[in-house]
Amino acid sequence: MTRYILRRLIAMPFLVLGIVTLAFLLTTVTKGDPLAAIVSDRQMNDPEAVAAAKARWGLDRSLPERYVIYVRNLLTGDMGTSFITRRPVAQDVLFRLPATMELVIAAMLVGSTIGIALGVLAAYFRNTPTDHLARFFALIGSSVPVFWLGLALLYVFSVKLGILPGPGRLDPRAALPPRITGFMTIDTLLAGNVKLFIDAVWHLILPAFVLGWAVAGTISRLVRANMLEVLDREFILTARSKGAGEFRVVIRHALRNTLVPTLTVIGYSFAYLLTGAVLTETIFSWPGMGSYAVDAARGLDFPAIIGVTIVGGIVFLVTNLLTDVAYVIANPRVRLG
């Protein structure tokens, strides 16, 4: 087990280097002109700016030399300057990361709650209308475009019914709490403002549901399959014959035995959440990495796009590693080569 974890840890830097290399290659294909990837169209007419950028990124050198410079700049945290915000990309991304994390964690909670509930229901009432309905609901979640679902739910719940707030993280009239963690729910609590905290949670509901529904489908499918297998085992029969109530049998005896694969799929669903967050944030005016990436892509802001891609790749890589390691620790029977 230790050897497996060790090997995965050793592979990490190489994968990160691979991510960086691929990102570097992307900068070399932009419009056939690498300069276009670091200097905005407006600055192109300014010979001084062009010369400064060329020197900083070594554009007058050969490709391998440029690669070395690129990696060296990255190691010092320099991902270039955004054309749009005119701030260093690294600074922008770090500033926006907490908002995305808050949304993704909330969506993960919503998605796993719905997913596990649906999976358990479907398995317990297998091949009944409840089962079919639960599976259909789950399938819709993985088939609907999140950006359209977000629009539709905003229209219905915020505009028509008026029971949930509109886009954003807080009421636009509210004074922002001092930024400490960047997580709105935590910062409002740290500021001791309970009313604002409730407002922040209220604003999280719709985007977290939109994003969570998408992964609930995957989770419920896996929970259903595992529950079906476990419910047929002898120890369930034993529990029932000892007089345990049905709820206790399902939750304490059956569900507990499906926890390891369930936690694993929730860990892997992180990728879908990061992908979905890009579009959800755009719809809900959520100031996270996703909307930053979309603004960057729309404005052909290459340093920002590449920066977000690298950070997203690394975040993704680390979560998958943590999931795998947690799986091995939780399930010592698995001997992953």
Partner 1 sequence: MSALSFSSFRRVGWISLPLAVGIAIVLFWLVVTFLAPVMSSYDPIDMVGRRLQAPSWQHWLGTDALGRDVLSRTLHGARHSLPIAVIVVALSVAIGALLGAISGFIGGLGGAAIMRLVDVTLSFPPMLLAMAVAASLGPGLENAAIAMVIVWWPVYARLMRAQVLEVREREHVEAAIAAGASRPRVLLKHILPLCWTPVLISATMDLGQVILLAASLSFIGLGAAPPTPEWGSMISDGAAQFYSWWVALGPGLAILTIVLGFNFVGDGLHDYFDPKSK
- Nearest approach in angstroms of CB 276 to partner 1 is 8
When asked if residue 266 is in the footprint of partner 1 (CB under 8 A), the reply is no
Question: What x/- string results for residues 126 through 155 when contact with partner 1 is judged by CB under 8 A?
Answer: -------------xx-xxxx-xxx-xx-xx
Rounded distance, CA 303 to CA 23, Å? 10
Rounded distance, CA 38 to CA 139, Å? 42
When asked if residue 117 is in the footprint of partner 1 (CB under 8 A), the reply is no
- Nearest approach in angstroms of CB 294 to partner 1 is 5
Size of interface with partner 1, in residues (CB under 8 A)? 50
According to CB under 8 A, which one of 79, 103, 116, 279 is a site residue for partner 1?
A: 279
What is the full DSSP assignment across 92-148?
A: HHHHHHHHHHHHHHHHHHHHHHHHHHHHHHHHHTTTSHHHHHHHHHHHHHHHS-HHH
According to CB under 8 A, which one of 225, 244, 260, 263 is a site residue for partner 1?
A: 225
Cβ atoms within 10 Å, residue 246 = 9
Please report where in the chains the tokens 């690294």 appear, as a residue. 90
- Nearest approach in angstroms of CB 143 to partner 1 is 4
- The residues, ordered by sequence, that sit 6+ positions from 87 with a Cβ below 8 Å of its Cβ are 81
According to CB under 8 A, which one of 305, 323, 324, 328 is a site residue for partner 1?
A: 305
Considering the complex, state which of residue 189 and residue 321 has its C-beta at the smaller distance from partner 1.
321
Rounded distance, CA 303 to CA 308, Å? 9
Rounded distance, CA 88 to CA 78, Å? 7
The answer to whether 184 and 170 are in contact (CB under 8 A) is: yes
- Nearest approach in angstroms of CB 78 to partner 1 is 18
Instruction: Print burial letters for 293-322: b (CB count within 10 Å at least 16), e (below 16).
Output: bbbbeeebbbbbbbbbbbbbbebebebbbe
Considering the complex, state which of residue 11 and residue 334 has its C-beta at the smaller distance from partner 1.
11
When asked if residue 282 is in the footprint of partner 1 (CB under 8 A), the reply is yes
- Nearest approach in angstroms of CB 47 to partner 1 is 25
When asked if residue 276 is in the footprint of partner 1 (CB under 8 A), the reply is yes
Q: In terms of Cα–Cα distance, which of 239, 160, 240, 174 is closest to 203? A: 174
According to CB under 8 A, which one of 38, 107, 108, 308 is a site residue for partner 1?
A: 308
Point out which residues bind partner 1 (CB under 8 A): 15, 18-19, 21-23, 26-27, 29-31, 37, 139-140, 142-145, 147-149, 151-152, 154-155, 159, 225, 271, 274-276, 278-279, 282-283, 293-294, 296-298, 300, 302, 305-306, 308-309, 312-313, 316-317
